[in-house]
Amino acid sequence: MEAPAVRWERYVNLLDRGLVTASEVTGELLDLLADAGDANAVWASMPESLRRQVRAFISDVGAANVPRAWVIGVNDPEWQARQTARRQATAKKLLAEFAEQADGPERPVAAVFDNG
């Protein structure tokens, strides 16, 4: 398994070089956050530049329009719907936190994800 710091650096480099889109990276990161045992720690471990790009993308498209889950090959429609719904729920939590942050001083996304 790739170390988180290495993964984040890879995403930042690929984005900076235009080899992947913010949509692609956001979809992957939403999956990682949804699967994480401690999503707050995962979010906090991301470089600020990556968090800003994900935040801007989600804020621009909205939770309902985050990238649809898919795999190369045949996609099971039920799996695809479940995974996409997880992405949307994660994005909705992030958007709610971003809105709260806009009303006050910048603070870490601390208790956004209920890992219990």
- List, for residues 41-98, the tens digit of each pLDDT value: 888 899 999 999 999 999 999 999 998 887 777 778 898 899 999 999 999 999 988 8
HSE of 54 in the Cβ direction (CA atoms, 13 Å)?
Answer: 28
Q: How far apart are CA 61 and CA 55, in angstroms?
A: 10
Q: Is residue 66 part of a domain?
A: yes
Number of domains observed in the structure of the chain = 1
Q: How far apart are CA 14 and CA 104, in angstroms?
A: 33
Q: Is residue 108 part of a domain?
A: no
Q: Indicate the DSSP class of residue 31.
A: H
Q: Are 20 and 26 in contact (CB under 8 A)?
A: no
CB count in 10 Å sphere of residue 100? 12
Quick one: pLDDT at residue 102? 65
Q: How far apart are CA 115 and CA 63, in angstroms?
A: 20
Quick one: pLDDT at residue 27? 92
Domain, as residue range, for 86: 4-102
Q: Is residue 113 part of a domain?
A: no
